[in-house]
């Protein structure tokens, strides 16, 4: 099987549609408190994502990949242009700021203390200088799966809760953007798996990223179960 096909297979190894949290949003039964907690997690993840991209850029010795990761970083930071002296980055385009705004829309305080959401596996790989695993983790494991999850959330929140696309800006923008990023990530990562060792590294990174993204959403399903028992 081609490595590109294997990477898609790893990214799609779990069925997100069956997760209780996503089902509850889809049918309009998700409590606002769970949505608030989820939005705060998204803000934490968005801020951490740019940090990991910057870490990859600092380690990567492949110029093409470094430029792609840097472009992704600049987009996440909301950079629109650079005049040679200063970056133009309106706050309304910064992904972390947009995620915090989503939390406000749901009635949460994005400035309140948040739980840490760090992958010890990902941080460990980067500490070892293994940017290839990290690249697959983020661009395949996360970015391929983001549109699937966010499409379900947007549809449910529009239909049952009356939120507009403006309210859900962080979610809406990632549906289109990450479909492109995910496909680009798979193509880029597959070109890097030129040896059996590199092939295994990127497949493992894609698998780990997929499962990490799955666990984020599974956690909020557990919160639903705790509320129903209480």
pLDDT one digit per residue (tens) for the chain, 230 residues: 899 999 999 999 999 989 999 999 999 999 999 999 999 999 999 999 999 999 999 999 999 999 999 988 888 887 766 766 676 656 677 889 999 999 999 999 998 888 888 899 999 999 999 999 999 999 999 999 999 999 999 999 999 999 999 999 999 988 877 778 889 999 999 999 989 999 999 999 999 999 999 999 999 988 888 876 65
Judge whether 137 and 212 are in contact, CB under 8 Å: yes
Cα distance between residue 223 and residue 30, in whole Å: 10
Segments in the chain forming alpha helices (H): 3-11, 20-26, 32-59, 63-76, 95-105, 120-127, 131-136, 146-161, 169-192, 196-229
Residue 100 has φ and ψ, to the nearest 5°, of -65, -35
Judge whether 108 and 40 are in contact, CB under 8 Å: yes
**Other CB atoms within 10 A of residue 146 CB:** 19
- Which structure tokens are listed for 106? 């749901």
Domains of the chain (ranges, CATH numbers): 3-229 (1.20.910.10)
Q: For position 90, what pLDDT does the model report? A: 66
Residues 6+ apart with CB under 8 A from 218: 19, 21
DSSP assigned state of 92: G
What value, to the nearest 5°, has the Cα angle with vertex 176 and ends 175 and 182? Answer: 85
- Which structure tokens are listed for 180? 């492109």
Residue 180 has φ and ψ, to the nearest 5°, of -75, -45
Q: For position 227, what pLDDT does the model report? A: 75
Q: Which residues pair with 82 in a beta bridge?
A: 87
Q: For position 81, what pLDDT does the model report? A: 65
Judge whether 69 and 136 are in contact, CB under 8 Å: no
């Amino acid at each position: 099987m081609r490595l590109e096909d294997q990477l898609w297979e790893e990214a799609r190894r779990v069925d997100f549609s069956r997760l209780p949290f996503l089902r509850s949003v889809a049918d309009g039964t998700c409590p606002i408190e769970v949505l608030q907690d989820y939005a705060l997690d998204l803000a934490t993840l968005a801020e951490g994502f740019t940090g990991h991209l910057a870490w990859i850029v600092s380690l990567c010795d492949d110029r093409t990949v470094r430029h792609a990761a840097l472009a992704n970083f600049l987009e996440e930071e909301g950079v629109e242009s650079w005049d040679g002296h200063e970056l133009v980055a309106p706050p309304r385009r910064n992904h972390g700021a947009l995620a915090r705004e989503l939390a406000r829309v749901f009635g949460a305080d994005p400035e309140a203390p948040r739980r840490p959401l760090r992958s010890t596996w990902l941080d460990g790989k980067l500490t070892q200088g293994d940017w290839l695993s990290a690249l697959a983790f983020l661009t395949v494991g996360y970015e391929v799966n983001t549109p699937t999850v966010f499409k379900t959330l947007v549809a449910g929140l529009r239909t049952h809760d009356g939120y507009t696309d403006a309210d859900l800006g962080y979610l809406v923008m990632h549906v289109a953007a990450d479909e492109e990023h995910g496909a680009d990530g798979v193509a880029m990562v597959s070109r890097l798996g030129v040896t059996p060792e590199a092939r295994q590294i990127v497949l493992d990174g894609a698998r780990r990223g997929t499962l990490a993204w799955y666990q984020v959403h599974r956690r909020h399903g557990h919160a639903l179960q705790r509320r129903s028992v209480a």
